[in-house]
Structures are given as C-alpha cells and as structure tokens.
A and B are shown apart, each in its own frame.
Chain A
Amino acid sequence: QEFQFGPCRVEGITLQELWDAFWAIKDIVQAKDNITSVRLLRKEILQNVSDAESCYLIHALLKFYLNTIFKNYHDKAADFRVRKSFSTLANNFVVLLSKLQPSQENKRFSGHDSARRRFLLFQRAFKQLDIEAAQTKALGEVDILLTWMEKFYHL
C-alpha cells in the first residue's frame, strides 16, 4: 500500500486508519456545519487533477489543514474521541507531508501553476467564511479529501 501522487511516492500510511479516524468524528463535526450551501473542496478543485499537479496540490492542502484547520480546532475538541481521531489524522498528515517532496526544479514547467490555482480556489472559499465556520466545514470535508487521495493509493 502506497500513495503515488505523480512523481511523489509515499509509503507507511494505512489509508484505512485515516478513514477509521474520520468516521469516528464525522457525525460530531458535520453536525456543527450549519452552512450547507457552501462546499470548500468543490468539484473544480479536485476534478481531473493531472499526475503532475497532484503532488503540488496535496502538499498545499495538507499544509493548510495542519497549519490552519487542525491547529485551531484541536483545542476546542473537548470530546475525547474527537481528540484521539484528530491526533491520528493530524499525525498521519504530518508523515505524509514530510514524505511528499514536490520537485522544486521543474516548478515552472508542469503542474505547479495549475495546482496553485486549484488550491487558491479552496483558500479563497475558506476565507469567505467566518474562521470557525470555515474550520468546521473543512474538517467535515476530510472525507472528500480522502476520497480524492484514494485515487492515488495503490494496494
């Protein structure tokens, strides 16, 4: 089992562990998302992502989740189950991020700019909401993220 995001290959992550962690918090987190008309990870962000783009995009998304979403939400997660599942997701995202090395040399050539545009669509949508509402929604959309990541996961 490994992820292959274009040129970036990552071993050592068991995707089922991430799904199990998300399922444990899905209802709690999604119940707090009152803005049902908005979706941050919209279709145009994750649809038809080329291999060349995929490593840049997943790197940017994971970094954002770790720095902006998990970081501020973890504190508020008083429910023990949420904290435990949070920790599983966050620490596996740390492993993933540390092993993703999007090539810096051919940044100008392929994938980087279009991946950047996709990420900015997500970030813009995030910033249009109140920060707490946006964090809650983004957390509730981890299943969308994992579903997309699954396309790059090989058993």
Chain B
Amino acid sequence: DGVAVLPPPYNLSVQSTNMKHLLTWSPVSVPGEIIHYFVEYQGEYESLYMSHVWIPSSWCSPAKGPECDITDDITATVPYNLRVRATQGSETSAWSTLKHPFNRNSTILTPPVMEITKDGFHLVIKLEDLGPQFEFLVAYWRREPGAKEHVKVVRSRGIPVHLETMQPGAAYCVKVRTFVKAIGRHSPFSQAECVKVQGETLPL
C-alpha cells in the first residue's frame, strides 16, 4: 500500500577498548526528519532462560546519534545480544540485531599511560585511572648488568605510588601493564621509561 516504512539501522558493530564498549551502526536518514534510536540488550541468562526478554540500554533509550555506550549494560563476562531500531515520530523500524553476540572478554587492552617522576631520591609512578576493574603490574629495575627486576601490583588509581629509593648516579627503568580480573587478561607492557638520579655515588 506504498506506506513508507522506516528502514532499520544496519552495520551494527561493537568497538571495545579497555573495558569501554561502544555499539555503533550505520544511521537511517530521512531528509528533513529527526531520527532517534533505541538500543536493547540481553545477556546469556536472558537468551537461555527467557529469550523474549530484552532490556533497554541505560543510556540509549533513546539515542540521538548512531552510537551507544553500552559499558554500563555489560556487567558480566557472558555473550550479550544487542539490537537497535530507529524511530521517527510515531513510526518505528524493525529491530536490527548484532550478528555475533558481544563478550567483554574480547575487549582490546592497551598498554597503560604512566608518568615517572623523581621526588628527590624517590622513584614515583603515576598511572591513568582506567576504572575499578583494572590492576597495574609495575616492573622496575636498576639499569645495570644483571639487575634484578622488581614487580609491584598497584590497585590505586590516578595517585602517585612510591616504587624505590634510588642510589645517586644510578639509572632506573620502569614498565607497566594492566590486568583485568573480570576477564582474566593482561595488556601488553608499555615501553620502558628510564630516569637517572643526579650526583655521584657516595664512597662507602
């Protein structure tokens, strides 16, 4: 009967980095009209025990643009089904469902950003705040042949942490990686950064 039916969004995909999950899709465009989108999800429990139950996304009911931060919706390490539909006024498109369920254990973990400073003879590290699910494994050593590598697990976020009291004239190097317990995975190590303490080694 020639009634224009609103096309559904398409090309759904999830980009996930450091446990931040962004659902994106190709937008629906109707000249001169404002399109909104509604996102819903179901975890493994819902799809196993009650596949008719879908839950509105926390931040995208509705969404104005063709993306949705679903981080707060993905709260277990199980496969999640995700679907999106478009609305324009009273008109609603069909649902478009993500082809493959998304599991947060597939997130990309990047080497963390660190800031190495010297506070007098103290070697201090400051790590970026990636959220409560992240631990940091900090490896540091004195740059000399046969030096032993020390390891410290840091759970505090965004505040300076003392690593070592350095010897005058010595150089120390640090590298760090993240660990996410919820998915049992590490990031790669960051590049090592080295600092040197001024002054000569004092004679014993």
Report which A residues bind B (CB closer than 8 A).
1-2, 11-14, 16-17, 21, 66-67, 70-71, 74-75, 80, 83-84, 87-88, 90-95
Contact = CB atoms under 8 A, between A and B. Distances in A.
Given A11-B184, A66-B49, 15 more contacts: A11-B181, A12-B77, A67-B49, A70-B45, A70-B49, A74-B50, A74-B53, A87-B43, A87-B55, A88-B75, A90-B46, A91-B43, A92-B75, A95-B77, A95-B78
A125 B49 CA distance: 24
Contacts, number: 70
A14 B133 contact: yes
Contacts of A66: 45, 49
Interface residues of B, number: 24
B2 to A, nearest CB: 37
Interface of B: 41-46, 48-50, 53, 55-56, 58, 73, 75-78, 132-133, 181-184
Contact of A84 (B45, B55, B77): B55
A14 B104 CA distance: 14
A12 B185 CA distance: 10
Contacts of B44: 91, 94
Contact of A71 (B49, B55, B132, B182): B49
23 contacts: A2-B181, A12-B77, A12-B181, A12-B183, A14-B181, A14-B182, A17-B76, A21-B75, A66-B45, A70-B49, A71-B50, A75-B53, A84-B55, A87-B55, A88-B76, A90-B46, A91-B43, A91-B44, A91-B45, A91-B76, A94-B43, A94-B44, A95-B77
